Amino acid sequence: MALTTVFCALPVMTFAASPLSMGGEAVCTAPQRPKNFVNSVQHSGEANPGTDITRVIADKVTGQSQTRVRATGKVIIERNDVTLNSDWADFDQRTEIVKVGDNYILDNGQGRISGRRVTYDMKQSTGVGDAGRFEMEKDNRRLQGVGDEIQMGGKNRYRLQSAKFNTCNPGDDSWYIRSASIDLDYDQNIGVARNATLIFGGVPLFYTPWIDFPLNGSRKSGFLVPTIKGGSDGMELVVPYYLNLAPNYDATIRPRIISSRGIQIGGDFRYLQPTYSGQISTEWLPSDQKSVHKNRAKIDFSHNHYLADGLSAGVDYHQVSDDDYQRDFWHGDKGSENLNRQAWLNYHHNLWGGTLDSRLMVQKYQTLASEYGYRDQPYSRTPQLSASWNRYFGNHYAFNVYAEATRFEDRKISHKDFEYKFPDGTRLVLFPTFNADYSNAWGYIRPKLSLHASHYEMEEKNNRNHQRSIDRVLPIVSVDSGMTFERLWQNKKSSNGFIQTLEPRLFYTYIPRRNQENLPLFDTAENSFTYEQLFRENRYSGQDRINNANFLTTALQTRLYDKTTGVERLAAGIGQRFYFSHDEVRLDEYAPKNKERKRSDIVAFGRASLNHHISAESNWHYNQDLKTSESYNVGIRYTPQTGKSISMRYKYGRYENLYDDVYGKTRSIDVGVQWPISRNYYLVARENYDFKNSVALNQTVGIQYQSPCNCWSVGLVGTRYTDGYQKRKTAVLFQLQLRDLTSVGNGPLGQLSTQIPGYSNTYEVKH
């Protein structure tokens, strides 16, 4: 992870600055941009004279051999990997010190320096030169600039007085740092500038008495990217400070000023050891001026630990001070939210010719109420012990046993006017499965036989000493089968073509009926009805409900492959279940009874790569009973090259969860765009519009500029999004990036990549 140290100061109110002298060369504009900031040296072209031997070549060489010589006219001095060009040179062969002028270029294999005069020790790689240029490159990072004086303290150490420098391409002085002095230590990979001012477009932006920065992009303590935001909470400013404590420890301190709320302190601490690693993140706002909650805080903690061969442990813990914290600090309102608090111990071992994976876990949640007071708190697992043993027999058979023992507690639903507490209980599960796989190139048959046995010990709501036991045993039989037919589509005059497959599939499941309405719902919900769900035995997740089944899934899928590359160009499938008996299993007694039917709804999908630039996908769920679509979505994306992307997706849902278990119809369109409007300007935009409620769920528009040589970029983005039912929030984001040095701004690029499909950082765009 490359972290960069940046400026820690307020802007200065001055609007004049001396430009970085580029020696009259044009600003970096392809294809005429200069190849080097400092001209390349001329070599003699002769064979290497040997290690630690100095060779002097010139139009004229005078003096006394082995003592002192003077060279004039096209002087070339070579020693090891150091080459020095000049108009004249005085060389003391006894001390290996050379004085050169009137113009010189020094190349030490790592960088180049040019100026009027220099005194240089060829043996020690030390010296002092007057006003000149420098250009250095290492690990694909470059540094260029000018200085009144350059001091060379060895091959990898330099000091420049009254210097100006940047990390741009040769000839680009669109921004630079002006400083009283710069120290460059390539052995330590550290650069230090004193009394430094960032000049951007000729305007001073920041001043600091001291900054340091890594020369190779490695981690370095110092100030990171300042964050600037504006929106519903007023102006925000975050100036993080990074601490590179050790190669395997680091920390970040994040002071944050929110104009409408107050001062917040946050931080992160990361650690990495051979046997464990983790991260702690915290935030604390002692007095929120905008909320009824005053002392507000958040903590996130994750830890993974290797204890021994096959034995590992971990912790995942999240906590906030109040129900409104996630909504207030730019997280939006998604109704009830459950923050995980979990610790586990895992064990993996080879046993009896197979593999054993076991897990001991404790899990609780902090459940946050929505702004309407609705809270749905899941059961805690205190604890859960589970194990799975799997073994293969030859190439066709496999046997798996899953076992689980779990204690469930503290499930409740509450609102402003009521609270309902669910009974606690214990669940034991034993689930052995035998699989067979008979397959070849053109088809397969995969029978599976399982036995699901579960035992419940339930406590009465008002009497923890009174328990009732419930048992359930269910055999599960399924057979998955399919065939693959291929045909070749090819032009007789060309070797190019396509291979199309036709893949019919049959999936049969039988599960006898058991009355399960008296069983609790510890961790079970009904899965969405999708194409993938057609090939699962149980329509419920978890262990508490198993549907009775006697059905046959019929499906047909086709694929189209490029014959030459093997790339999938198109895939589509459609499927439906046929029921031979009625499924009477419901989630609970309040759920509507399942309608007796002979056929299920129809589900279908499609995806296509029309060419290298256009892709599309779609999903469809058709309700057989109502003779109407239950849900569908259609999306298409056009990405002709990096930095150009247009995407659109339309979604329809007849009965969707809107908020707080309130259901209704949804119809929305989501359009995302990143497109150049000129050579270096990019438009970014997103519109997510809900037609049902005639409201925009998310509106984003912005413009980004990338300098011709990719030396800097700037972005300004405004966004307006929903925050709860019929509530909106706004934010204005700004970012200035300086290549290989830093970013100034809050980094809207990261947010745009999650909002606009196919979005690319403008630094990835090649002009």
* pLDDT the model gives residue 10: 27
* pLDDT the model gives residue 25: 43
- Res 3 pLDDT > 70: no
- Res 403 pLDDT > 90: yes
**How would DSSP label each residue in 171-183?**
T--SEEEEEEEEE
* pLDDT the model gives residue 332: 44
Q: Which of 137-146, 243-252, 333-342 has the lowest mean pLDDT?
A: 333-342
- Res 14 pLDDT > 50: no
The stretch 213-239 carries a mean pLDDT of 75
Q: Is the dihedral of CA 544, 549, 555, 559 positive or negative?
A: positive
Please say whether the beta carbons of 501 and 558 come within 8 A. yes
Q: For the segment 497-515, what is each residue's pLDDT rounded down to a tens digit? A: 889 999 999 999 999 999 8
The stretch 162-172 carries a mean pLDDT of 85
Please say whether the beta carbons of 759 and 684 come within 8 A. yes
- Res 711 pLDDT > 90: no
Strand (E) or helix (H) holding 754: helix 748-755
Helices (runs of H) and strands (runs of E) counted in the chain = 2, 49
Q: Which of 195-209, 518-532, 713-727 has the lowest mean pLDDT?
A: 713-727
pLDDT band at 608 (very low <50, low <70, confident <90, very high): very high
* pLDDT the model gives residue 744: 54
Q: Ranked by mean pLDDT, which of 219-233, 364-378, 417-431, 704-718 comes out on top?
A: 417-431
Q: Ranked by mean pLDDT, which of 228-242, 413-427, 603-617 comes out on top?
A: 603-617
Domain over 55-223 is classified CATH 2.60.450.10? yes
- Res 119 pLDDT > 60: yes
* pLDDT the model gives residue 668: 93
Share of the chain above pLDDT 70, in %: 89
- Res 556 pLDDT > 80: yes
The stretch 166-189 carries a mean pLDDT of 84
Q: For the segment 664-705, what is each residue's pLDDT rounded down to a tens digit? A: 788 999 999 999 998 889 999 999 998 887 888 888 999 988
Please say whether the beta carbons of 217 and 139 come within 8 A. yes
Q: For the segment 265-303, what is each residue's pLDDT rounded down to a tens digit? A: 999 999 999 999 999 999 999 998 888 898 999 999 999
The stretch 576-597 carries a mean pLDDT of 86
Lookup result for tokens 């700037």 = 714
The contacts found for 673-678 with CB under 8 angstroms, 24 or more apart, are 673/645, 673/646, 673/647, 673/756, 674/643, 674/644, 674/645, 674/752, 674/756, 674/758, 674/759, 674/760, 675/644, 675/645, 675/646, 676/643, 676/644, 677/703
pLDDT band at 93 (very low <50, low <70, confident <90, very high): confident
341 Cβ contact partners less than 8 Å away, ≥ 6 residues apart: 316, 317, 318, 319, 363, 364, 365, 366
- Res 706 pLDDT > 60: yes
Residue 478: phi and psi, rounded to 5, are -145, 150
Average pLDDT, the chain: 85
The stretch 550-575 carries a mean pLDDT of 93
Q: Is 74 helix (H, G, I), strand (E, B) or coil?
A: strand
Q: Ranked by mean pLDDT, which of 23-32, 304-313, 647-656 comes out on top?
A: 304-313
* pLDDT the model gives residue 645: 93
- The Cα 74–Cα 82 span in angstroms is 16
The stretch 736-761 carries a mean pLDDT of 70
* pLDDT the model gives residue 748: 54
Closest C-alpha to 342, from 303, 372, 390? 303
- The DSSP call for residue 34 is -
* pLDDT the model gives residue 715: 84
Domains of the chain, by residue range, sit at: 55-223
- Res 18 pLDDT > 60: no
Share of the chain above pLDDT 90, in %: 43
pLDDT band at 535 (very low <50, low <70, confident <90, very high): very high
pLDDT band at 1 (very low <50, low <70, confident <90, very high): very low
* pLDDT the model gives residue 758: 82
Strand partners, 426: 407, 457
pLDDT band at 130 (very low <50, low <70, confident <90, very high): confident
* pLDDT the model gives residue 216: 67
- Res 8 pLDDT > 80: no
How many angstroms separate the Cα of 313 from the Cα of each of 279, 304, 362?
A: 15, 6, 12
- The Cα 682–Cα 694 span in angstroms is 29
Q: For the segment 451-462, what is each residue's pLDDT rounded down to a tens digit? A: 999 999 998 765
The stretch 537-546 carries a mean pLDDT of 94
The stretches of 308-415 forming alpha helices (DSSP H) are 325-326
Strand (E) or helix (H) holding 751: helix 748-755
The contacts found for 488-492 with CB under 8 angstroms, 24 or more apart, are 488/563, 490/563
- The Cα 516–Cα 514 span in angstroms is 6
Q: Token digits for 102?
A: 């009137």
The stretches of 308-430 forming alpha helices (DSSP H) are 325-326
- The Cα 399–Cα 14 span in angstroms is 76
Q: For the segment 650-673, what is each residue's pLDDT rounded down to a tens digit? A: 999 988 776 656 677 889 999 999
The contacts found for 78-83 with CB under 8 angstroms, 24 or more apart, are 78/43, 78/44, 78/49, 78/54, 79/52, 79/53, 79/54, 79/55, 79/122, 79/123, 80/51, 80/52, 81/108, 81/109, 82/106, 82/107, 82/108, 82/109, 82/122, 82/125, 83/41, 83/43, 83/107
pTM of the model: 0.75
- Res 139 pLDDT > 80: no
Q: What is the 3-state secondary structure (H, E, C) of 580-594?
A: CCCCCCCCCCCCCCC
